[in-house]
């Protein structure tokens, strides 16, 4: 009499050989000549050691020459203040604009819908780059007695970036080696059987979106500017990333 137990034993003995081989663990599969694509990542972090500050001045007057003179005078004063406060700062004029100012639409008469020009608006920007972060607050406060601070962007000096580039590359390559070792172990192979055929390093950088120009309130030329309290700044840090892709072939 064919019992259930005997029937199961008979089915197991008569199963195809391929069915049994399919139950073998993955590490017993043939891996000779296998080409593996391995992504790797590396990063280094460093405290920011450079700042790019943008100052501006804007004046409005019925007379274009008067408005321009006020801007030129105050920008020259602000520039001298910054140079005296920070001798190593690099200064650069970023922009100078002049455009007409028109009356509000609500002030126009029904018979005269043509925009009425009421004056001129003149402004100028000054970009200041420095690595003197300790004296930044003092420099900004001194300049704000004449100019307006329009934006700050902290980052790394070029010399610092060059030093970190080597460390970033080394970190990325080490990550690639660690991943290859892990893959070899998972495949049941020795890491010495792996040969790196190609490494494609793809460098990438962190920009901070540019700070849009914003309008500031104009101060009367006859009003003496009171002293400005020193602002507080936190430079933060910058992280440099690198990505690499390696082609590894097992013998």
Q: Could you tell me which of 86, 85, 87, 55 has the C-alpha nearest to residue 71?
A: 55
Number of Cβ atoms within 10 Å of the Cβ of 143: 24
Strand order of the sheet with strand 117-130?
A: 90-102, 117-130, 50-61, 148-155
pLDDT at 36: 84
Backbone phi, then psi, for 17, in 5-degree steps? -65, -30
**How confident is the chain (251 residues) per 10-residue block, as mean pLDDT?**
49 52 55 83 90 94 92 93 93 90 71 80 93 93 94 91 88 88 86 84 44 38 53 64 78 78
- CA 243/CA 96 separation, integer angstroms: 41
Backbone phi, then psi, for 157, in 5-degree steps? -70, 155
110-129 residues labelled b (16+ CB within 10 A) or e (exposed): eeeeeeeeebbbbbbbbbbb
- CA 82/CA 136 separation, integer angstroms: 10
Rounded to 5°, angle at Cα 111 from 107 and 113: 55
Alpha helices in the chain (DSSP H): 4-13, 17-21, 64-85, 136-143, 158-186
Whether 164 and 44 have beta carbons less than 8 Å apart is answered as: yes
pLDDT at 105: 66
pLDDT at 187: 84
Alpha-carbon dihedral 8, 10, 15, 19, rounded to 10 degrees: 40
- What angle do the packed helices 136-143 and 64-85 form, to 10 degrees? 160
Q: Could you tell me which of 242, 197, 209, 214 has the C-alpha nearest to residue 56?
A: 214
CATH topology for 51-155 is Alpha-Beta Plaits (3.30.70)
Backbone phi, then psi, for 163, in 5-degree steps? -65, -40
How many angstroms separate the Cα of 237 from the Cα of each of 1, 51, 88?
81, 12, 22
Sequence spans of domains, the chain? 31-46+156-209+242-251, 51-155
- CA 207/CA 157 separation, integer angstroms: 13
């Amino acid at each position: 009499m064919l019992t259930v137990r005997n029937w199961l034993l008979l089915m197991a003995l008569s199963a195809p050989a391929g069915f049994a081989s399919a139950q073998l663990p993955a590490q017993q599969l043939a891996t000779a000549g296998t080409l593996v694509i391995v992504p790797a990542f590396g990063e280094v972090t460093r405290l920011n050691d450079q700042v790019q500050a943008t100052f501006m001045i804007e004046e409005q007057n019925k007379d274009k020459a008067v408005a321009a003179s006020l801007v030129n005078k105050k920008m020259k004063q602000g520039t001298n203040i910054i140079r005296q406060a920070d001798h190593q700062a690099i200064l650069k004029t970023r922009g100078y604009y002049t455009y007409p100012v028109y009356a509000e639409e609500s002030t126009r008469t029904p018979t005269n819908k043509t925009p009425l020009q009421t004056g001129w608006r003149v402004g100028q920007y000054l970009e200041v780059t420095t690595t003197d972060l300790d004296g930044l607050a003092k420099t900004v406060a001194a300049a704000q007695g004449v100019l307006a601070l329009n934006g700050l962007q902290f980052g790394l000096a070029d010399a610092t970036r060059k030093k970190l580039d080597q460390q970033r590359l080394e970190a990325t390559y080490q990550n690639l080696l660690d991943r290859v070792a892990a893959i070899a172990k998972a495949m049941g192979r020795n890491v010495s059987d792996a040969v790196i055929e190609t490494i494609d390093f793809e460098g990438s950088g962190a920009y901070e979106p540019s700070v849009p120009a914003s309008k500031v309130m104009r101060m009367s030329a006859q009003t003496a500017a009171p002293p400005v309290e020193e602002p507080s700044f936190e430079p933060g840090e910058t992280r440099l990333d690198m990505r690499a892709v390696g082609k590894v072939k097992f013998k």
